[in-house]
Structure 1
């Protein structure tokens, strides 16, 4: 009965399920019912608007991508079916039903102990720790190990959310919000040290390629509308479109860069009262503790630098897939979802498009190799979850090739339960050091 109710609720999706959680959270933390309802409804409108824009972008780009693949004779043996199947895959298994109460309990205990400042309400993206559990199950054939791996994957997500919250709060201007989206968080572990390195390179460290600086220096050429037009026309030409279709794709990409930030503004409008009320509630009832509300990376994808970087990475990724020796994955299904995986990476580079493209290119290389390596395991997870997709031959998805997935596979494969326990102990230690010893987020807020 519980499992059926859970699957029904998850079936509501982000446009209904997450807003309901936000309304309930608002009521719990003392927001007036009318304000809580309006916050949830505004969030729902933001998700619907964002989905419309992302779906439009995907519908516009997919024909161009297919033509590029055919035009340049790209033939690789592993099909990228897209990470969009990840959520349904994870929650169609019994592990998906266990993941939600397990992670909620872990989250509340860690907040009470002061070991995390993130209160996760992004239930849908719990598919990512659950997917880690499925991968460990596929490696070890041990269901208990899989449950332990889900808990460990969630600890990793909380640690990354706490550590990278300043990027969310400062660059994306989302105070009181943390991103608990593992795909987006993972890339920051390359971007932050790489940005430090770029700052040490004479000449290069003076290059400011943010959309604002580009617009200031190049005038109309730096306007998001014009950037979108140029990118769209460029992809149309690479795909071999005629003039009419090329110009149409350019106009549609220009519209995406202009409309998406307006959709994202609705998220901020809906979450500001929830975040403020949550802070007051936790300060009053949890010994003065402050928390950040953990949300989907969708809140950050509307920045012009994020969209420009993500779209430009499409031809770059296809080129990498062809030239990298040993790679067998042909990126397809995940290409139009780059806005989610590269968004915090762009934030770590402070919106510098040149740095972001270099970082995203470097990050994509191990992603392709890991997706190739993981393909047999991913196919096995579909069998374990009794989930089938309409594709033949070997398949994977590029955005499964994250280091955050690979470390759990490697440790469980080589060290079994000992490896999983080591990772969990290390993560608990990191959470304790970050939030109890260093009081990291508090010091960031106070400018220390």
Structure 2
């Protein structure tokens, strides 16, 4: 059995999301009754779109990594917990004992919840199952129990599907992605924080009136408020902060202008890539709608995708670029934090993207929520760093030089792994039972409130008509 699982994991690791996703989309579309030709074209189009998205994200990654290195050098900060980036975290998660089992565990939990009508999301984003394996690997590092790790991972699968269903309507409307949900733990975990902070901001006089969304920016700034120009301006500012003290003025100007143009390109190209993705999803969504109507009446099945489909929105990118220097500043000023950021600054768009529907694209509020979330994350990362490092060593990961311990924004900064680890460390099996009960209560509350909300929304639409 272990040999089979190892072979499956090897195929997953080798192919990656850009090959696996089209295959799963094609199979899913055929099962739903789409014609083979349309299903094949849909899968290829979606794969091409994700390749384009990854290329643009890679451009952003390179630019922000260079900026981060320069800013860190300028500040002279040193910490013993080093951010190694999400690719390293994913490799550690899939390389762990939980990573060997996470794909069948994730699929089984998803199918059971679908058949039980507890979720509407079919998560085809199998590559990102590593987030579940990561939580499980931390639990294994804390308890030395594979069983505990697998149970913890299964609970997080269920929690992530709950988040996906809970946020689906808002995501679909704000980002204009019909038939889709986002079962991506790194993005979904900010939702409870965003709801609480948005409620608090609503009750602060003066602050609650500030609304800086994309439409407001464009209306007040004209051409300078267009996403591509906004990316250029933010790039100029970030470049100036990073490279102001480069001795050679020519090199300094070149670095600043390259940063500006690269981020302008990101602001323009990411939305285009998402449009291509949606073109590929249309046939699948239509087939899913027809399939469900024939067999389950008005029940809706959502396609669970990577939150990469969200980060092309100007609100997500703009707020994230503003948060880059804020995150580095937090590295300097937060008392008790031992973390220095480096490799994962480019994933901040993934962290904050799900706040946009909650705050209606208000970049000001997204920056506030993102700042608080990152501040919490520094302390979570400091607490989890020993387990993160132990899991890495167990998976055969080589630690960077001068790093006593390691972390990453994804998933080392997230409250979900921290809560799970704390429950298991303090209560063992009872902690897992408590986590499962809390998730079950979450499903019950969601199903109850979602029904009420949909009835209320329908009444309001009828009244408006």
> TM-score normalized by structure 2?
0.92
Q: How many residues align?
A: 448
For 1:134-181, what per-residue CA distance to the aligned partner results, in whole angstroms no more than 9, with x for missing partners?
111111111111111011111111111111112211111112111011
Q: 1:22 aligns with which of 20, 25, 33?
A: 25
Alignment of structure 1 residues 352-371 onto 2, 5 Å:
352-371=362-381
* CA separation of 1:120 and 1:204: change in aligned 2, threshold 3 A: same
Quote the offset at 1:203 in angstroms: 3.2
Residue in 2 that maps onto 1:431:
443
Counterpart check, 1:262 vs 2:262: no
CA contact (8 A) 1:114 1:435 kept: no
CA contact (8 A) 1:412 1:420 kept: yes
Residue in 2 that maps onto 1:61:
64
* CA separation of 1:111 and 1:447: change in aligned 2, threshold 3 A: farther
* CA separation of 1:283 and 1:433: change in aligned 2, threshold 3 A: farther
* CA separation of 1:264 and 1:440: change in aligned 2, threshold 3 A: farther
CA contact (8 A) 2:170 2:358 kept: yes
Q: 1:410 aligns with which of 403, 422, 427?
A: 422
CA contact (8 A) 1:114 1:289 kept: no
Query: In structure 2, how many angstroms separate the alpha carbons of the residues matched to 1:380 and 1:445?
Result: 49
Q: What's the Cα RMSD here?
A: 1.9
CA contact (8 A) 2:189 2:414 kept: yes
Query: In structure 2, how many angstroms separate the alpha carbons of the residues matched to 1:412 and 1:299?
Result: 34
Q: 1:345 aligns with which of 331, 345, 355?
A: 355
Query: In structure 2, how many angstroms separate the alpha carbons of the residues matched to 1:137 and 1:243?
Result: 49
CA contact (8 A) 2:97 2:146 kept: no
Deviates more, 1:145-154 or 1:110-119: 110-119
Residue in 1 that maps onto 2:182:
179
Residue in 1 that maps onto 2:80:
77
Counterpart check, 1:279 vs 2:289: yes
For 1:111-149, what per-residue CA distance to the aligned partner results, in whole angstroms no more than 9, with x for missing partners?
122111111111111111111111111111111111110
For 1:194-248, what per-residue CA distance to the aligned partner results, in whole angstroms no more than 9, with x for missing partners?
2223233333333221111111012122111221111111111111252232122
Structure 1: any 5+ residue segments left out of the alignment? none
Quote the offset at 1:6 in angstroms: 3.4
Alignment of structure 1 residues 105-116 onto 2, 5 Å:
105-116=108-119
Counterpart check, 1:150 vs 2:153: yes
CA contact (8 A) 2:97 2:137 kept: no
Give the secondary-structure state (helix, strand or coil) at the position aligned to 1:22.
Answer: helix
Structure 2: any 5+ residue segments left out of the alignment? 245-251, 461-465
Counterpart check, 1:88 vs 2:83: no
* CA separation of 1:175 and 1:42: change in aligned 2, threshold 3 A: same
CA contact (8 A) 2:96 2:391 kept: no
Residue in 1 that maps onto 2:307:
297
Query: In structure 2, how many angstroms separate the alpha carbons of the residues matched to 1:9 and 1:36?
Result: 21
Quote the offset at 1:283 in angstroms: 3.7
Residue in 2 that maps onto 1:398:
409
Query: In structure 2, how many angstroms separate the alpha carbons of the residues matched to 1:16 and 1:85?
Result: 20
For 1:29-52, what per-residue CA distance to the aligned partner results, in whole angstroms no more than 9, with x for missing partners?
111111111111111111111111
CA contact (8 A) 2:89 2:408 kept: no
Residue in 2 that maps onto 1:333:
343
